[in-house]
Structure 1
Amino acid sequence: MAKYDKADLERRMKGAVESLKNDLNGLRTGRANVSLLDPVTVEIYGSHMPLNQVATVSAPEPRMLSVQVWDKSSIGPVEKAIRSAGLGLNPINDGNVLRLPIPDLTEERRKELAKLASKYAEGARVAIRNVRRDGMDALKVDENKKEISEDERKRAETELQKLTDEQIKAADEAAAAKEKEILGK
C-alpha cells in the first residue's frame, strides 16, 4: 500500500473534475462550440485521424461551425466523418469550407442531455470518493505501521474530507452550469 500523499490525492481529484468539464464541453447545447467536433475521426491517408489534425474548426456565428480542411482532396472524407459521427449535424460543402448549422434542440433532447450531464457529474463524484477512500486506507496503513500517530491520522482525514467536499462542489457547480445552459434557463 502506498504512503499517504496529499498532493497526489488532490491531483487525482482535480483530474476527475477536469475530465468532467471535458465531458460536459462535448454536450451540444444548441450553440456552436468547436469542442463539439473533438470526438470526430476522419479516415484519410489510410488511417483514422482526429478532425483537428486535418482541419481548422471555428465558430464564426453562435449557431454555425466552420471546418476549413487543409488538404482540399480530403473534404469528402471529412464531410462523411462528420455526418456519420452521430452528432445530428449536416455539413454544407461549398467546395473550400464545410459549414455546419447547429439545429435547435427539442425539449426532449434537452432533457436527455441534462440527464447525461447529471450522469457525468455522478461519475466524477464517484471517482473523487474513490480517491478519498484510497487516501483514508493509506492513512490507516501508515498509522498501523506506526509512521503517524492517531491524532495525525485524524487531522489528515479531516483535511482529506475537506478537499473531497471542495472537489465534489466544483463538479456539482460545473454540471449545474451545463444543465442550465442546456435547458436554456
Structure 2
Amino acid sequence: MERRTLVRVLVVVAIAIPILVEVLTFAGLMQFQLFGDGGDEPTPATPQPRRVAVGEELLPETPQRETLTDASLGTGSGQWTVTLTVQVENNGTTPYELRLEELTLGDGRTVPDGNTTRRLQPGETATVTARWRIPSGTTPHSVTVSAVRFDNDSGTPRTLTKRVHLAKIPVEGG
C-alpha cells in the first residue's frame, strides 16, 4: 500500500471514530428521553409502621389482649393533655402487667410518666388510663409499652418493651 493511501485511511479513521462515538452518545440520550431508562420495576417503598387506633390491640404478639379503648387530645391554655385508655385481658397462663410509659411527640421529644395496671392473674381484666401533659400545638406520635409476664413458679418478670405508633388522635375542647 502506498504511503499516501495509508495516510488517507488513517485520517478517515481518526475523524470517523469520534463522530461514531458522538452519534452513539446522542442516540443513547434520545432513547433515554423518549423511552426512559428501561426500569419498569417500581422503587420499593419504605415500610410504614403499623399505627394503632381505638379498638385495636397494642401488642398483638402477646397472648393477652391490650385493646386501646379511648384516645383523646384535650386542648387547654399553654398545655394539652393526651389520654390513652387500654383494656387489658390476661388470657395467658401467668400473671401479667401492662405499663404505658413515655409518650413520643411528632417532633421527636419524649414525655415521661404514664401508668400501669396492677399485676393481673390469669383470667382477670383491668383498665389502665394514662395521661401526659404536652406543649400546645404538638401531637402524639407513639407510646412506649411494656408487657411484663411473671413466671408462675419463681415470679421472675419477663419484659417485652415496644414502641407502639398511634393513629391520628382527634383534638377535643378549646
TM-score bin, normalised by smaller chain: 0.3 to 0.5
Q: Which has the higher helix share?
A: 1
Q: TM-score normalized by structure 2?
A: 0.34
Q: Which has the higher strand share?
A: 2
Q: TM-score normalized by structure 1?
A: 0.33
Higher relative contact order (CA 8 A, sep 6+): 1
